[in-house]
Structure 1
Amino acid sequence: MTNVQTAKDVIEQTKAFHKKLGDFYQNLADKVEKERVKILLEYMSRHHDHIAIIIDEYESSAAENILSTWFMFVHKECDLSPFFDANIGPDMTAQQVIKVAVDLDKCLLDTYEGLLQNDIADDVREVFQSLLEMEKLEKIKLAKNALKIETM
């Protein structure tokens, strides 16, 4: 799929994706029965809400010429089948939750990496490289904290 978008469009879509994930995990947390899974889902909800806030702040501080930069990239659709095929429900395990989270985070990483494969201006490349690094660090942080919660 070929897209023509501004850097701002991609940043806003990423922010919206994190916000939707935060809402999704909170809705699941309200339905699950296992306390450990509930704690994990509530943590993941807060985690994604926090990332959405960070991206919003990042966007607010970015130069307008960077945000308004147009570029074309070929991006494969995110494979959301793990999200839809997952056994998501009140009796889900912590490991099922973690697997869904890892698969969805991979979608964002693939998007940033796809953008960075293009011939784009250095200042725009720097923005998306920074966002990619932040996503990678947040993924590690999420995995560590999820493991701690799972072994409580």
Structure 2
Amino acid sequence: MTTVQTAKDVIEQTKAFHKRLGSFYKELSDKVEKERVKLLLDYMSRHHENLAGIMDEYESGLSEKVLTTWFMYVNKECDLSPFFSADLGPDMTAQQVVQVAVDLDKCLLETYEAMLQNDIPDDVSEVFQGLLDMEKREKIKLAKNALKIETL
């Protein structure tokens, strides 16, 4: 699918995605029985709410010129099946939670990588490279913290 959007549109969609993930993990946390899994889900909920806040700050630091830059890119739909098809119930394991998180984070990484494949101005390219780098760091941080919680 070919999409025409502004940089601001993509940032807004990313914020909404992080907020949705935060709510998703919070709802799961309320259903699980295993304490470690509950801790992991609570952490992931806070993590994504925090990332949505970081996106707000990031956006406010960008120039209007960058935010209103229009560009066209070909993207595939993000695979949100982990929201719907994973066996996520009261007896889920921490490994299942981490796998869902990895699958969903992949969607964001692919979006930013697709943006960088286009012929876009350097200042806009820098924005998406920065977001891609941030998501990669956050993915590593999430994996490390998930491992710590799992080994408690």
Q: Is residue 2:37 matched to residue 1:37?
A: yes
The equivalent residue for 1:140 is 140
Tell me, what secondary structure is at the counterpart of 2:124?
helix
The equivalent residue for 1:83 is 83
Separation of aligned partners in 2, 1:136 and 1:28: 24
Greater than 3 Å deviation, 4+ residue runs: none
The equivalent residue for 1:68 is 68
Separation of aligned partners in 2, 1:37 and 1:111: 29
State, as a whole percentage, how many aligned pairs show the same letter: 77
Structure 2 alignment gaps of length 5 or more: none
Structure 1 alignment gaps of length 5 or more: none
Per-residue CA distance 1:80-138 (angstroms, 9 max, x = gap): 22332110111110000000000000000000000100000000000000000000000
The equivalent residue for 2:14 is 14
Separation of aligned partners in 1, 2:140 and 2:4: 31
Tell me, what secondary structure is at the counterpart of 2:33?
coil
User: What amino acid sits opposite 1:29 in the alignment?
Assistant: S
Q: Is residue 2:25 matched to residue 1:25?
A: yes
Per-residue CA distance 1:7-54 (angstroms, 9 max, x = gap): 000000000000000011011111110000000000000000010000
Q: TM-score, structure 2 length as denominator?
A: 0.98
Separation of aligned partners in 2, 1:73 and 1:103: 22
